[in-house]
Homo-oligomer: A and B are copies of this chain.
Amino acid sequence: MPVNLTPPVAAQLLPVAGVFLGATEAHIRYENRKDLLVMQLCEGARVAGVFTQNRFCAAPVVVAREHLAQRDGIRALVVNTGNANAGTGEQGIQDARTTCRALAGLLDCKETQILPFSTGVIMEPLPVERIAAGLPGCMAKMGADNWFDAAHAIMTTDIVAKAVSRQVTVNDVTLTVTGIAKGSGMIHPNMATMLGYIATDAAVSQPLLQRMVTEAANRSFNCITVDGDTSTNDALMLIASGQAGLPEITDACSAEFAVLQAAVSEVAIWLAQAIVRDGEGATKFITVRVEGGRDEAECKQIGYAIARSPLVKTAFFASDPNLGRILAAIGYAGIDDLDVGAIKLYLDEVLVAEHGGRAASYREEDGQRVMRQNEITICVALDRGASRATLWTCDFSYDYVKINASYRS
């Protein structure tokens, strides 16, 4: 079960003026679940995003990038689950275009004003007729109050839907930021690594919106890992509808930008952590903090060596303070001139290792006590610089294997 992650409450998800959502059951792979979402945007809304860096990126990623680059003004996003339309070659590209064309027909806009997204099984043809047949059902449900349904419609192996809202006040105007995301395997950075959609009613210039989503992704979705795999499909999109009545934000040094960036990043971090809390088979939420590095890159490199290690992750599942596995992961992280004698390793506040070995003050029962918790912070102090990085991951349980061994069945 997800670690300290409660399902969203519909009433707590705030509508974003100018953003409308409609979801339906299109029977793409499973029955009795919403699997198709349309997000319709008011005229003048801007969209920016970051996409997977996987070379085998899925057809919808190719098409979405292309349409974003056209700058025709995006009028809608369409998301299906059940089929990722990845590893589908030229036919997949055509199918993504057909999906866009079908929605453009309903919205009376251009095909290039639609962004397509897919998630689910790879290398199977997209059932594009079912998607086209489902689109009118989405349109019939269209409303600003549908974030709760939208969060459910994009789930695959997620147990709990992920959605959150924040509000900030800028020059006496209230700005709303609402986001949804889905995980939950194949979560690793090198980009967006899942599907996430964050919308605000602020007005933001296109370059600043791109900067804002990149910064938010780097602080959130690019700091999590479940199994180290990077998906072919994943994307984080940031929508600015401009309906709040505040002038467009065009200055990266303005207070408005800073306040909105903070709210967007906070929503992104909440969603990214929610994905880890609902990681496939997760029973523990683990924060890996690496500090005292020469630069952020080496802190992340060491953090990911720990966060990706199946040996570390199974030890956490077992609540076994087999902390040598963490030292081993630090050792093979690939930092050639690392002085292991200078490193301090903490489990929450318990000093576990220093001087290349177990700390003299360490008692097994202290480590055991922390390991039994379902939220644990590993801190590695490198003592060679002033940089730091924080990552989030989960443990590795029987259920991870079970879920991934049976996902297609």
Contact = CB atoms under 8 A, between A and B. Distances in A.
Interface of A: 53-57, 84, 86-92, 121-124, 185-186, 188, 190, 227-232, 308-311, 314-315, 317-318, 320, 322-325, 327-333, 335-336, 338, 340-341, 353, 355-358, 396-398, 400-402, 404-409
Given A89-B356, A356-B56, A332 B396 contact: no
A357 B89 contact: yes
Contacts of A406: 318, 320
A27 B368 CA distance: 25
Contacts of A408: 320, 322
A87 B311 contact: no
Contacts of A124: 324, 358
Contact of A353 (B123, B188, B336): B123
A302 to B, nearest CB: 10
A87 B356 contact: yes
A122 B228 contact: no
B357 A311 contact: no
Given A122-B325, A315-B404, A322-B407, 19 more contacts: A55-B332, A55-B335, A55-B336, A86-B327, A87-B327, A87-B328, A90-B356, A122-B323, A123-B324, A123-B357, A124-B358, A186-B311, A314-B400, A314-B404, A318-B406, A320-B405, A396-B401, A397-B405, A398-B402
A122 B232 contact: no
A163 B356 CA distance: 34
A397 B404 contact: no
A249 to B, nearest CB: 34
A402 B353 CA distance: 26
B86 A54 contact: no
A318 B409 CA distance: 10
B340 A56 contact: yes
Contact of A401 (B87, B123, B397): B397
A121 B400 contact: no
Given A88-B357, A310-B400, A405-B314, A54 B328 contact: yes
B320 A123 contact: no
A397 B406 CA distance: 12
A190 B305 CA distance: 14
A92 B401 contact: no
Nearest to A62: B356
A309 B228 contact: yes
Given A121-B322, A310-B404, A405-B314, A357 B92 contact: yes
B355 A55 contact: no
Interface centre among A92, A232, A333, A341 (most CB of B within 10 A): A232
